[in-house]
Structure 1
Amino acid sequence: MPKYRTVRLDTPGARARLNEARLYLAAAELLDLGASAENKVAGSNAILAGVAAADAICGLVLGERSSGDDHAQAVTLLRRATHPSTKAANSLRRLLTRKTPVQYGTDAISASDASDLIAWARDIVGEAEARDR
C-alpha cells in the first residue's frame, strides 16, 4: 500500500473547506466568460473550489487530506474516499492537470475551457455536499 503525505482534517475543518469550496465556485460562476482575464480567473477559482471540495470529502470520510505536492496522490486519496461510480476523482484529476497552466501560465484559456473547469469543480463540490448530509 502506498504511503500518502496527509494531514489530519476533522469534521469541523472539512466543513470549513467545503464552505471555501462553495465560495470559490460561486466566484467562478459570477464571471462573464469570454474575455481572457475572466476565463483565467474563473478557471483558477474553479480549480481552487475542486481542491477544497476534495479536501472536504477526504476529511469527512477519512479524517485526513492530502498534503503532498504529488497531484496523483491527491486523486488516489479522493478515490479511496469516494465510490468508484462518482465523478469526483476524475474531475479532480482533470482540474489538477490544468492547474499550473491556468493559475501560473501566461497563455489565455477559452471560455469553453473555463466552463469545463467549472463543471468539474461542480462535480466535486456536489459530492462533498452529499457527504456532509
Structure 2
Amino acid sequence: MISAITSLITGGIDAYKQHGINKANKLKRQDDMEQARHDAKVNRLKNGDEKAADLDMVSIKERGLKDEFILLVVFVPLMLSFIPDYAPYVDAGFAALKSVPEYYWYVVAAVVIDTFGFRSMVRYLLEFFAFKFKGK
C-alpha cells in the first residue's frame, strides 16, 4: 500500500516536473521565433537602407544645375526678406503660396528629396514614425 502511494506521489512529482520542462521549452521556442523575426526585420531594413544609400550616392555624383536652382529657390526669399525694399514682395509671395494645393507640396518635397539625395534619411524617418504610431 505504501509503495502504491509512494509511486503515485513520485509519478505526480515527475508529471509536474515534465509540465514545467514543457512550459520552459515552449517559452524557449517562442523566444527563438521572436529572435528570428527580429533578425529578419533587421536584415530587411539593412538591405533597404543600403539600397537607399546607393541611390543617394548616385544622386550626389550627378549633381548639376538643378541643385543650384533648388538652392536659389529655397534661399533667395530668405535672404530677400532681410532687405527692407524686398520684404513686402517676399510676404506677398508667401501669402500666394498658402493657396497652393497640398498635393503640390508633396511633389515639391519629393523633388527636393530626390535632388539632394535624402532617400535614406526619409526612409529612416518613415520607419521611425511608423513604429512610434504602432506603439512599439
TM-score, length-normalised on structure 1?
Answer: 0.26
> Which protein has the bigger strand share?
1
